[in-house]
Amino acid sequence: MSIFRRRAAEPDVPETDPTDTTAEPEATAADQELDVDGDAPVDRTAGPFDASEVDGPGERIDLGSVWIGSIGGAELRLEVDQASETVSAIQLIIGPSAAQIQAFAAPRSGGVWREIRQELSKAIETGGGTVEEVDGPLGKQLNVRMPQQGPDGRTVFAPARFVGVDGPRWFLRAVLSGQAAVDDEAAEQLIAGVRQFVVHRGQSPMAPREMLPLTLPPAAPVVEEQAEPEPGDSDADGTDERYTRPDLNPFERGPEITEVR
């Protein structure tokens, strides 16, 4: 696995505001189980895990609130906000596929992924995109096509898969792009990588949907990343179907860094 390569910031995606500042309510007995009208609990016996379910970070990469186990043939990148010098997201790269991964605080009652799916669906459809909710390896997921402006000013449609997992007082979201957005086998490879993630929520009080803080590992060499490939050929209707990474993040994004491990 590798980490740390710098690259230019990318524009945002449809706004879903996972940084809601509403304070988490006091826990009650009813909070111990998911809402009966919510999603069925996801089987996490193969991951992603809670820190209480493993024996410490061990040989995993320790990024503070997230520990990452070994993922063969994968590259790990960290997106860093230059203004605040904080890590804003993790990217898992396997060949022509990528998964952008973020972890957030959640109430004990769970249900964050259900709410975010609804918000994402509305935002994408309002913007002219398409959304399909399907059952995936980690429960409900969204398969989408998001309209964006191409280099020549024409509309291009970027496919992506939004995957979410509700854990104990945390929520993990992965956005799959590239080949994994349109190919099930490629998507399964990234999902297998996501299962190697361990979320260390900690005991500090946090507002629901507040991003769990990530920390940089020890300093490593930094090199410039090469430019993204250009979009593919145009469709007959004048739009492009791109199988590269679309603009996926509802946060302000900074450059990425990658370290060879």
What are the tens digits of pLDDT across the range 87-118?
999 999 999 999 999 999 999 888 899 999 99
Report whether pLDDT(45) > 60.
yes
Yes or no: say if 198 and 62 are a contact pair by the CB < 8 Å rule: no
| Bridge partner list, 145 | 130, 159
Report whether pLDDT(57) > 80.
yes
What are the tens digits of pLDDT across the range 132-183?
999 999 999 999 999 988 888 899 999 999 999 999 999 999 999 999 999 9
Which range among 45-59, 95-109, 155-169, 209-223 shows the weakest confidence by mean pLDDT? 209-223
Structure tokens given for 73: 């043939």
What pLDDT does residue 69 have?
94
Q: Where would I find the beta strands (DSSP E) of the chain?
A: 2-4, 49-50, 61-62, 66-68, 75-81, 86-94, 97-105, 130-136, 139-149, 155-167, 170-178, 197-199, 240-241, 256-260
Q: pLDDT grade, residue 85 (50/70/90)? A: confident
